[in-house]
């Protein structure tokens, strides 16, 4: 029997309602030793996914490690979109081993989780492999992660992918949540985030709207 194509999205694509975002250790001390990605790009991409999650009302966990005693505050680009949200501070390098984080994960009740943070080979590998082991689906925003070297970051991503994690980028995350320019209720949100954090693509949106009044839909 020949296949019959249907105009419906694939089940592996993310939607605003089918997952939770977990943002881990976007903190000063962790960023100082990060060499696999420029700090400006890291902060930009972290701000992009935080703004996207907040705008699309994706349940989001913000967690730090030794915030007051060692690692310092979380990036304002990450906390800004979630005013008043409590940060879960941990002692464990593996977020999944923290009972308070797991309490939030269980309360949210999503089986599909998206992870981003510092460092890829420690604080992202740990919870991603642990979540996969317990039957969760795990996505990793790889350009909103960083490590002490490119080697460390790349081997960590490979290790997670081999275990079943699905890699993606920050801009991909935003556009996958929107996915159809005819969705007018989130059109301005999406293009606004793109204009702020979307690099050359964002500049293109600004140019098209300013010069021609263009609209993707």
**For position 204, what pLDDT does the model report?**
87
The pTM of the full predicted model, rounded to 2 decimals, is 0.95
* Contact of 102 with 131, CB cutoff 8 Å: no
Phi and psi (nearest 5°) for 141?
-85, 95
The candidate with the shortest Cα–Cα distance to 145, out of 61, 46, 72, 50, is 46
The domain locations on the chain are 20-177, 180-217
Higher pLDDT, 12 or 208: 12
What is the sign, positive or negative, of the torsion defined by CA atoms of 174, 83, 44, 185? Answer: positive
Which CATH number does the domain 20-177 belong to among 3.40.50.12780, 3.40.50.850, 3.30.565.10, 1.20.1290.10?
3.40.50.850
Q: Has 123 been annotated as catalytic?
A: yes
The active-site residue out of 48, 123, 156, 174 is 123
Cα Rg for the chain, rounded, in angstroms? 18
11 pLDDT above the threshold of 90 = yes
């Amino acid at each position: 029997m020949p296949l019959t194509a249907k105009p419906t999205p694939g089940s592996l694509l993310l939607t605003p309602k089918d997952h939770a975002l977990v943002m881990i250790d976007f903190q000063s001390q962790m960023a100082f030793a990060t060499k696999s990605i420029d700090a400006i790009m890291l902060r930009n991409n972290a701000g992009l996914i935080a703004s996207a999650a907040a705008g699309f009302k994706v349940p989001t966990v913000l967690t730090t490690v030794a915030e007051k005693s060692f690692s310092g505050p979380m990036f304002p680009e990450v906390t800004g979109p979630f005013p008043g949200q409590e940060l879960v501070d941990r002692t464990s390098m593996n977020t999944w081993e923290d009972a308070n984080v797991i309490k939030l994960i269980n309360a949210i009740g999503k089986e599909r989780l998206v992870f981003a943070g510092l460092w890829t080979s420690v604080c992202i590998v740990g919870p991603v492999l642990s979540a996969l082991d317990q039957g969760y689906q795990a996505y990793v925003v790889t350009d909103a992660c960083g490590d002490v070297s490119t080697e460390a970051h790349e081997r960590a991503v490979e290790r997670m992918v081999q275990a079943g994690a699905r890699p993606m980028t920050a801009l991909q995350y935003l556009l996958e949540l929107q996915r159809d320019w005819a969705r007018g209720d989130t059109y301005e949100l999406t293009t606004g985030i793109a204009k702020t954090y979307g690099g050359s693509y964002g500049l293109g949106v600004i140019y098209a709207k300013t010069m021609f009044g263009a609209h993707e839909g």
